[in-house]
Chain A
């Protein structure tokens, strides 16, 4: 193991750094609440203490990665990042929220399943639409008629 490889960025540096960041952030925000004493703890006591502990753990995580000689080949992004797939998976619920608020249960379910299904690389518009249609029928039957979830099928239309 040469000296240079030791300074190669390892994934655990990010991991430790993230924990340090969250810990410090929590401690800073938590210090805005009343801290109190040990006998009479205020609402800020535990957030500050836990934040400091988390920051300390972050340093330890990064530190043990620095000390270990094991190479860390893994990258933060997977070997074949699925940007389109991720976008579809996240887009589905976003559409569910928007269409659920504006349109009702039927458009929300259809859009959510349709967009999520498009994320698979073998999916076609047709296969996704069929799946979305099937799930919409199933979802409406189960959640509207059987379980009575308070969610209008189509807003403005009394079904």
Chain B
């Protein structure tokens, strides 16, 4: 099995190293790194803006580029946390706790250096995990019928909505809301128009780009306008020479890095627990097992290495369920799944065999992209740091223009711009009511496939709902759903200690002028 995997990987490098693909991979990680550094911009909005521009491209470079934005943004995100104490990217929020004190002690460069090493170690492990695990998952998933697919999607939707931050009830409500938005348009089986209210443009359904940019673009700008303070660049002076950690620092950071990597890759496998949760869990674990927990929060290098390694290994691992099962774990993955569908690729277990060039090319491009990012970040750190000082008042109007033209370019239709505007206002209202919009996108992307498989499985069983329980794999997935719900009720009623601990860590974080959306 290892031999075939290595052979496939070799083939993947052939795909990823084609000049055209390599260029788009580089472009993706460059743009990703850029938006990662800029406070108030995030990968979700960026990928949505770039998505319509990839319509004319073949699918392989398009997917390589869009994925590159995601993991590239993770490299940039840490810079903001460590140098400015601004948790503008949720997966890196926890890095503020020890990264910024290190900066204040004049060791900001070391923190950044350790971050890059941790990132590379974490990402490498995540990619290796994907190489071996994804084909295995596929061999299991190929046995799935519509009932199993349905139950599996239910697990994905439930986990995505309850394990994310915020109230689980509201998360589930947002998932259902997303499923309902996914219904808008023409019914695939009967051709009846649903929830279109006579608007012809809605017959094709709500545009995924409009939904993502409304919720994660316009709503976000409405939330943070005149709400941001000028960034304090007092400590943000880092040169290349400062970035190489000393031997003692490396020694201290080594085991936390390994632990973070393992925790992160574990979190990636559970649907719904993305990099943000991985970084929190690993920080809490590292603090707990440390012999000197009092150093945490005062510039402990372990407090930087562990969550960063964890974030990156989780980011790469996140692709596993998306690519092998077609079930996205978070917003960015939902968006990438949408991108695959737009490019005419049916996500699911058959993806690896039918589109081997995309799958193995993507994996190979992860390695290449991560190496490019290390190269980009070490010598160019000065430029990234300078970018931090771009004020928000220049950023958001430019971003608004990109939102408008991005949505327009999707269909060359001004109606979509108006649609985005309406979704943005709705998104802001939901945000003010403490709803997190991430599950909406998850529900929206999975909705049509969920309905199709739900109908099909009940058609096969002649309307017998027991089919979901009679089939053992499906029953197992439903059991996971029950466990998820029971666990949530338990947490709500008993408020166990580990939840309180996580709350305590969250309370220590500096307030962010940006909402959670940019993650």
Contacts and interface: CB of A to CB of B under 8 A. Distances in A.
A39 B457 CA distance: 9
B195 A47 contact: yes
B174 to A, nearest CB: 9
Interface string A119-158: 1111100011001100100010001000101110000000
A143 B225 contact: no
B112 interface: no
B53 interface: yes
Given A92-B397, A112-B404, A82 B421 contact: no
B187 interface: yes
Contacts of B461: 39
Contacts of A71: none
A39 to B, nearest CB: 3
Interface residues of A, number: 73
* Interface size grouping (class) on chain B: 35 or more
Contact of A12 (B177, B434, B458): B434
B425 interface: yes
A105 B36 CA distance: 29
A61 B396 CA distance: 33
A66 interface: no
A38 interface: yes
A85 interface: yes
A119 B421 CA distance: 16
B105 interface: no
A61 to B, nearest CB: 5
Contacts of B22: none
Contact of A123 (B177, B393, B458): B393
Given A50-B180, A131-B398, A19 B173 contact: yes
Given A12-B434, A34-B190, A54-B180, A46 B451 contact: yes
Interface string A63-82: 01000000000101110101
Contacts of B177: 19, 22, 54
Interface stretch (B114-122, B357-365, B367-375, B407-415): B407-415
A44 B412 CA distance: 31
A9 interface: no
Interface in B141-175: 167, 169-170, 172-173
B403 A93 contact: yes
Contacts of A97: 414, 417-418
A117 B393 contact: yes
B454 A96 contact: no
A139 B401 contact: yes
The interface centre, meaning the residue of B194, B222, B433 with most chain A CB atoms within 10 A of its CB, is: B433
Contacts of A90: 218, 222, 421, 424-425
The interface centre, meaning the residue of A11, A92, A101 with most chain B CB atoms within 10 A of its CB, is: A92
Interface of A: 11-12, 14-15, 18-19, 22-23, 26, 29-30, 33-34, 37-47, 50-51, 53-54, 57-58, 60-61, 64, 74, 76-78, 80, 82, 85-86, 89-90, 92-94, 96-97, 100-101, 108-109, 112-114, 116-117, 119-123, 127-128, 131-132, 135, 139, 143, 147, 149-151
18 contacts: A12-B434, A22-B177, A22-B180, A30-B195, A33-B187, A41-B454, A47-B183, A74-B434, A82-B225, A90-B424, A93-B418, A108-B404, A113-B397, A113-B398, A119-B225, A120-B392, A135-B398, A151-B408
Question: Which 4 pairs, one residue from A and one from B, show the smallest C-beta to C-beta distance?
Answer: A39-B463, A38-B463, A116-B397, A120-B393
